A and B are shown apart, each in its own frame.
Chain A
Amino acid sequence: MIIQNQHVLNMASKGQRIDNRGQDEYREIDIERNPVEKAEGSAKVTLGKTIVIAGIKMGIGKPFSDRPDEGVLMVNAEFSPIASPNFEIGPPGDDAVELARVVDRGIRESHAIDLRKLCIEKDEKVWMVNVDIHIINHSGNLIDASAMASIAALWEVRLPELKGNEINYDKKTSKRLPMTAKPVPVTFVKMEGNLFMDPGLEEEEVMEARLTVTTRDNGNIVSLQKGGAKPFTQDEIENAFALAEKKTKELRKLLN
């Protein structure tokens, strides 16, 4: 892998990629819905060789004091050691925390879930939506794969039966989550001054900087996240907005 680094950069300087993709071309995406029956909703996204499963478990709990009439959304990401020789067991590292928070913000800021409708009893009882992201194979661009898996899984949720304070997980109702939007991220990396969408692992290892642009159905931007140890120019960022606007339309179709 290390020996490949220079080769990746040499090609990037000419706008080329080691797998012959175009700069704005994604690897093949496959979304499998509800692969996990025990979860209230789940989705497995395969993006090239990257595999991510998102599972939704519903719970009942107290609302936050500053949002007494809203359900609670929690996003957590686990980098399982099966997915990469570089993942270790232990508290979540910086990358896992960032991943979860970027996915969380995309869902939250687009108001993809109408959290007010998840209130059962003001100040006392609300639905908790737990989104757990599990990385099965890390072959690059975990953010896009995880966000798409999460949003697909949320749209699949069937709420379990509620009896008083108890949830009967064995009995799923036909009720769905109050979903309103499908936020879709597009992640770019900058290499040798050029922008490339959907970075593979080899590209992430040598990238100069990374930018994720998440948009909702009307094309508005709901979340941005820059990463990496080098800067972007204003032109590069504005260029990324335009490219992302086009690409999300294409990606959103996969979620329909």
Chain B
Amino acid sequence: MKRKDKRKPGDLRSVEIKAGVIEQADGSAMVKMGRTIAVAAVYGPREMHPRRMRKSERAFLKTTYRMAPFSTTDRCRPGRSRRSQEISMVTREALEPAIFLEEFPKTGIYLFIEIIQADAGTRTAGINAASVALADAGIPMRDLVASVAAGKIGKDYFLDLEYKEEEETAADVPVAYMPRTKEITLLQMDGDLSVKDMKGVLQTAIKGCEIMYEKQKQALRERWGPNAADVKKELKTKTAKPPSGTLRGTPSGAQASTKTEKKR
């Protein structure tokens, strides 16, 4: 069984990952998987609002998954849908096992995932971006979480289905995985598979996660590592940011400018 885009059954779509794409965020990342584009931003840990959601013994990972109205062929209505609500929840549960939430009691870690373009696999792309963004934000983690879906078309197990394949597959199985501990943090499935095929598809997805994991690490090395390609302008602009939040003001009588542009 040949794939429309000439990939082998165990190939991912072309993957592009970039860490640190949103200057205002404490951590961020963009992930492209084929034509699917996800952007994730992390703010915090910081004070948790509303107060009733505070956990006295750990941080709360407040997760919001959203799709841009223009991300799909038919405009999707902005705002919360039952689908986005469920994906927000399973995304949170896919990432929580990786985070040392107990280090920041009573606080909130705010994670926002925006799907800019949807072409199958948006929840997996979102989780991949979120995981890189959390590491980028310096959140203490046990491991990165990598996520890829797999399915079965004809007799083959296909990795990382694109939109057209999603219509043909006997099942769609998104998986998130922590390669270091070999643990599965997200598992969903819609379709119709024998137990044997189900195991095969799961195994295929896990292998895909291992490939994705290396790409996530590469993206973080490119942004932070000692051999990082020369650090881009965005880092400069980051220092130019005035003290954020309510600290923005300067001491009374002090020079008003907190900017750091070169003026000479």
Contact = CB atoms under 8 A, between A and B. Distances in A.
> Does chain A touch chain B in the assembled complex, meaning CB atoms less than 8 Å apart?
yes
Interface of A: 65, 92, 94, 97-98, 100-101, 105, 108-110, 211, 216, 219-234, 237-238, 241-242, 245
A218 B198 CA distance: 14
Nearest to A229: B96
Given A219-B195, A220-B192, A237 B187 contact: yes
A97 B83 CA distance: 8
B202 interface: yes
A224 B181 CA distance: 22
10 contacts: A211-B187, A219-B194, A220-B195, A221-B195, A224-B188, A226-B186, A228-B93, A232-B184, A234-B203, A242-B195
Most buried by B among A220, A221, A231: A231
B187 A230 contact: no
B140 interface: no
Nearest to A226: B187
Contact of A224 (B97, B182, B187, B203): B187
Given A221-B193, A231-B178, 11 more contacts: A216-B192, A221-B194, A221-B198, A224-B189, A225-B189, A226-B187, A232-B187, A233-B182, A237-B187, A238-B199, A245-B195
Top 5 A-B residue pairs of the complex, sorted by shortest distance between their CB atoms: A231-B183, A224-B189, A226-B187, A229-B96, A94-B89
A238 B187 CA distance: 12
B30 interface: no
Contact of B184 (A98, A219, A231): A231
B141 to A, nearest CB: 13
B97 A231 contact: yes
Nearest to A228: B93
Contacts of A222: 189-192
B202 to A, nearest CB: 7
B173 interface: yes
A101 B183 contact: no
A126 to B, nearest CB: 19
Contacts of A231: 97, 178, 181, 183-185
Contact of A223 (B90, B96, B189): B189
Interface in B160-213: 171, 173, 178, 181-195, 198-199, 202-203, 206
Contacts of B190: 105, 108-109, 222-223
A226 B184 CA distance: 9
A213 to B, nearest CB: 9
B82 interface: yes
Nearest to A108: B190
A254 B123 CA distance: 36
Interface of B: 74, 82-83, 85-86, 88-90, 93, 96-97, 171, 173, 178, 181-195, 198-199, 202-203, 206
Contacts of A101: 82-83, 86
B184 A220 contact: no
A241 B185 contact: no
Most buried by A among B83, B96, B195: B195
Contact of A110 (B83, B89, B192): B192
Nearest to A224: B189
Contacts of B195: 219-221, 241-242, 245
Contacts of A109: 190-192
Contact of A226 (B74, B93, B178, B193): B93
Contacts of B199: 238, 241
Nearest to A93: B85
Given A220-B193, A238-B199, A233 B82 contact: no
A220 B187 contact: no
Contacts of B182: 233-234
Nearest to B189: A224
Contacts of A229: 93, 96-97
A174 B182 CA distance: 54
B166 to A, nearest CB: 13
B123 to A, nearest CB: 12
A92 to B, nearest CB: 8
A3 B82 CA distance: 35
Given A109-B191, A224-B187, A94 B86 contact: yes
A234 B89 contact: no
Contact of B202 (A98, A105, A108, A237): A237
A101 B206 CA distance: 25
Contacts of B88: 94
Given A220-B193, A221-B198, A233-B183, A226 B89 contact: no
A109 B189 CA distance: 10
B167 to A, nearest CB: 10
Nearest to A241: B195
